């Protein structure tokens, strides 16, 4: 059983072997593999799952996507549900309860012992996208009077109750965090070594109100496996683990990409979402952008005389608009990424603006020069080349400035910078570049 099985082999094994054999083998089978096998199972799912111990069922539900947790959980009887939740980590249990109606969630909470129920209610009071909303309360606490040998014995007795054992936390009698010891230090030191010699008192902590994106930045900066959550008095409330942060990064990146592509957020997977659902996500933003683009149409209508006089001007409108949109999107993407990674702050606005201005001049002059030579070569019209090239330079400069400015302005007024991405920037730059283009054409040709 130590060799990794395919999904089909795993299904066959779980169907044909006794509960005791399954229990012995589950030590070498990851719950994620069982979850994958369950998705491919064509028989009665409840009879398949009923052969698994409750602690394994708990980890399977924990591994499932948030939108699938409730669906799997609902396969069981109310009595078995109560047994399963007693095996779940507190942070995962909160995610599960939030998918249920209030009455069912309350009934399940009441089935826990009083201390666990109170901890769970406290966790559910935190905003789900804060440190408190993603933390687990199962951590390994020890005291500084212990030796390495005592600590190892303590871990053997109580270690399976903790979310992770990467770090052990030193608390006083009031639960105030005093320091941290890594499991590595425990393992490599002699049995008689006092913990006081191994404690690191400089612990990096987070408050329960801290936004989950800021929590992710702390993990990125320090590379920790877990970070403790403490209140204002430094009383330890719980821990956040690296696997939770990985989920956050995926979630936040997905939301940012959706906003940058003018899509409404969707929890479901693409292939599992219906046509109407996908259309609903897209149509609101597309309607907004379509209506806002009418300003571009009004600008073109306002210069019908110039277009009638020089029809060739219309041939260069798509090029100017596309170049402006692309140039603005480049700047916006870099600034949004820099802000997401903590590399750019609101106070850096002037620095970013000056840098993008210089970049835009270099890029703008290069594109304008190539464009001028192309028009001379193919159109043999000096004034047309001057008009389009000046408009091109202006378009690139404006696009870069708008692209770098809007995300920072959005952060300043407490909006998500990703909202100010390519679609909105393109709309603004299109309007400005066309005004300049036609003004230049009017001055030169009319």
Predicted TM-score of the model (pTM): 0.65
What is the dihedral sign for C-alpha 163, 167, 173, 177?
Answer: negative
How distant, in Å, are the alpha carbons of 364, 420, 441, 443 from that of 383?
Answer: 18, 36, 9, 11
Asked if residue 39 has pLDDT above 90, the reply is no
The answer to whether residue 273 scores a pLDDT higher than 80 is no
**Helices 66-73 & 90-97 angle (0-180, nearest 10):** 80
Share of the chain above pLDDT 70, in %: 89
**Alpha carbons 35 and 38: distance in angstroms, whole number:** 5
Predicted pLDDT at 1: 47
196 neighbors 217 (Cβ within 8 angstroms): no
**Is the pLDDT assigned to residue 153 strictly greater than 90?**
yes
- Between helices 382-412 and 349-378, what is the axis angle to 10°? 160
pLDDT band at 101 (very low <50, low <70, confident <90, very high): confident
* DSSP 8-state symbol, 87: T
- What is the model's pLDDT at position 163? 87
pLDDT at 47: 76
Mean pLDDT for 171-198 is 94
Kindly report, residue by residue over 317-343, the tens digit of the pLDDT.
889 988 988 898 889 888 988 887 778
User: pLDDT of 409-431, one tens digit each?
Assistant: 988 888 777 666 656 777 888 88
Average pLDDT, the chain: 85
Tens digit of each residue's pLDDT (9 = 90 or more) over 11-35: 777 777 776 777 777 777 778 888 8
The predicted-structure confidence for 196-254, as pLDDT tens digits, reads as follows 999 999 999 999 999 998 898 899 889 899 999 999 999 999 999 998 888 887 777 66
The pLDDT of residue 179 is above 50: yes
Half-sphere exposure of 429 (CA within 13 A, CB side): 38
Check residues 16 and 173 and name the one with the higher pLDDT: 173
pLDDT band at residue 307 under the 50/70/90 scheme: confident
Per-residue confidence (pLDDT) for residue 374, from 0 to 100: 93
Residue 298 has pLDDT above 90, yes or no: no
Report how many helices (DSSP H) and strands (DSSP E) the chain contains, helices first.
Answer: 22, 5
Overall residue count recorded for the chain in this entry: 446
Question: Which region among 56-70, 231-245, 283-297 has the lowest average model confidence (pLDDT)?
Answer: 283-297
Q: Which two tokens stand for residue 73?
A: 């959980």
What are the contacts of 378-385 at 24+ separation with CB within 8 A? 379/312, 381/312, 383/444, 383/445, 384/310, 384/312, 384/313
Examine the pLDDT at 403 and tell me if it is beyond 70. Answer: yes
Name, of 99-103, 202-206, 312-316, the range with top average pLDDT: 202-206
pLDDT of residue 445: 67
Q: CA-CA distances (angstroms) from residue 225 to 108, 239, 342?
A: 31, 10, 20
Report whether 6 contacts 32 (CB < 8 A): no
**For the ranges 86-90, 261-265, 364-368, 409-413, the one whose mean pLDDT is highest:** 364-368
Query: Could you tell me where the DSSP H helices lie in 101-211?
Result: 102-110, 114-125, 131-134, 148-158, 183-188
Share of the chain above pLDDT 90, in %: 37
**All domains of the chain, ordered by start, with CATH?**
7-134 (1.25.60.10), 141-241 (3.10.580.10), 293-445 (1.10.357.20)
Angstrom distance (rounded) from CA 57 to CA 93: 13
Place of tokens 């069922």: 57
Measured between alpha carbons, how far is 286 from 267 in angstroms, rounded to an integer?
20
Residue 257: predicted pLDDT: 63
């Amino acid at each position: 059983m130590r060799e990794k099985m395919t999904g089909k082999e795993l299904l066959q094994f779980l169907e044909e072997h006794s509960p005791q054999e399954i229990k012995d083998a589950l030590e070498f089978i990851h719950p994620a593999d069982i979850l994958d096998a369950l998705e491919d199972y064509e028989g009665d799912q409840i009879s398949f799952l009923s052969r698994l111990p409750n602690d394994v069922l708990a980890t399977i539900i924990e591994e499932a996507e948030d939108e699938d947790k409730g669906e799997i959980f609902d396969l069981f009887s109310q009595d078995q549900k109560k047994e399963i939740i007693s095996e779940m980590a507190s942070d995962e249990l909160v995610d599960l309860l939030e998918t249920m109606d209030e009455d069912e969630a309350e009934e399940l909470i009441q089935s826990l012992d009083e201390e666990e129920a109170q901890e769970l209610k406290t966790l559910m009071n935190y905003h789900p996208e804060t440190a408190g909303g993603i933390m687990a309360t199962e951590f390994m606490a020890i005291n500084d009077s212990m030796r390495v040998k005592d600590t190892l014995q303590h871990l053997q007795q109580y270690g399976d109750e903790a979310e992770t054992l990467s770090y052990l936390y030193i608390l006083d009698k009031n639960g105030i965090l005093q320091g941290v010891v890594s499991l590595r230090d425990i393992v490599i030191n002699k049995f008689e070594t006092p913990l006081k010699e191994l404690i690191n008192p400089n612990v990096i902590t987070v408050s329960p109100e801290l936004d989950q994106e800021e929590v992710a930045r702390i993990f990125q900066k320090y590379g920790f496996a877990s970070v403790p959550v403490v209140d204002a008095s430094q009383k330890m409330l719980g821990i956040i683990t690296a696997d939770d942060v990985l989920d956050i990064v995926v979630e936040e990146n997905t939301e940012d990409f959706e906003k940058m592509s003018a899509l409404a957020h969707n929890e479901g997977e693409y292939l599992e979402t219906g046509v109407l659902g996908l259309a609903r996500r897209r149509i609101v933003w597309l309607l907004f952008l379509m209506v806002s683009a009418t300003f571009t149409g009004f600008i073109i209508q306002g210069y019908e005389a110039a277009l009638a006089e020089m029809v060739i001007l219309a041939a260069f409108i798509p090029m100017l608009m596309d170049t402006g949109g692309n140039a603005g999107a480049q700047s916006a993407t870099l600034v949004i990424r820099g802000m997401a990674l903590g590399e750019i702050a609101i106070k850096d606005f002037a620095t970013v603006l000056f840098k993008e201005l210089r970049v835009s001049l270099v890029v703008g002059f290069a594109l304008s020069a190539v464009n001028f030579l192309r028009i001379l070569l193919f159109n043999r019209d000096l004034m047309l080349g001057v008009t389009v090239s000046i408009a091109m330079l202006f378009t690139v400069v404006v696009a870069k400035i708008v692209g770098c400015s809007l995300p920072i302005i959005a952060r300043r007024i407490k909006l998500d910078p990703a909202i100010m991405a390519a679609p909105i920037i393109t709309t603004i730059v299109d309007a400005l570049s066309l005004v300049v283009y036609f003004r230049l054409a009017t001055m030169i040709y009319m």
